[in-house]
Amino acid sequence: MAKLNFGGIEENVITREEFPLTKAVEILKDETIAIIGYGVQGPGQSLNLKDNGFNVIVGQRKNSKSWDKAVNDGWVPGQTLFSIEEAAQKATIIQYLLSDAGQIAQWETIKKHLAPGKALYFSHGFGITYSDQTGIIPPEDVDVILVAPKGSGTSLRRLFVAGKGLNSSYAIHQDATGKAFDRVVALGIGVGSGYLFETDFKKEVFSDLTGERGILMGALAGLFEAQYEVLRKNGHSPSEAFNETVEELTQSLMPLVAENGMDWMYTNTSTTAQRGALDWRHKFKAASMPVFEELYERVSSGEEAKVVIAANQQNDYREKLEAELKELRESELWQAGQQVRKLRPENS
């Protein structure tokens, strides 16, 4: 196991070099892996596992859009594609990849097929961490493990097809068989992880919910909207405002950050940009720190989980969600984005 050192703080990581795919396939050669759910993570993880040589089946509700998508992706009804209950029954490893709401709804179906020695796999710590709200409490005689790719299932699949990997965290909540470590790492390599870093279910969900509501989605969307609206109020055109707010960030600057870090990106911009960015970063940190503190407290206390569960249980949840997304999609900011993206060189 390799170690990363951060100023004296060591972290365990597992790379493909020390745990190659051939070893992962050998460890799981007698296992049947059932992917339960074919929504966000299911397609990417199942297809990557299949292409890597593992014995994989998919469990999904029949006569649903996701069932049809699975068929279109090459899963064969009655051979590699089954109902949720039938797939869970056949599996020795159940990858529980339904949405958090879906996991709550299907838990009794899954639970009755958790025979001793099986493994229950998650890609999100929500159901286990907030078990007082979800009711998801596995029996003590099964392994409970987690591999959480740090990105969408779409990104996981695209990187895999390109011969790359997406970093993932891994965790062991329950080791009933003594094989949980080998199982979770083999699965992590199998689904296409670039490397695996160690966590636990609680830390995974706390960081994930904070990140989604924060810099990855919520904060980023809010900052985009604020800067765009200020520019527009001061007479800048939609094209100019969008390019300065979104296009330059996503197409020019963030690739530089990904390549070598924020400091390196700064060295590749003008001295005027450097000075202003270095000064104003402190103001933005001071303004946003209280919001992040409040956010983390709500995540760790379970309040955010309560909001999510209550919302997902409403009969008209999807209609309300679509209305919110429609408002976002039809805002001038993202309508401008549609037009600007068409003018990128690769689209012309």
Catalytic residues: 124
Among 299, 297, 305, smallest CA distance to 135 is for 305
- Tell me the chain's radius of gyration from C-alpha atoms: 22
Q: Report the C-alpha gap between 43 and 74 in whole angstroms.
A: 11
**Contact call for residues 83 and 66 (beta carbons, < 8 A):** no
Among 97, 101, 99, 37, smallest CA distance to 310 is for 101
Residue type at 111?
A: K
How far lies 342's CA from each of 93, 247, 339, in Å?
A: 44, 12, 5
**Contact call for residues 99 and 40 (beta carbons, < 8 A):** yes
Angle at 205 between CA 81 and CA 176, to 5 degrees: 65
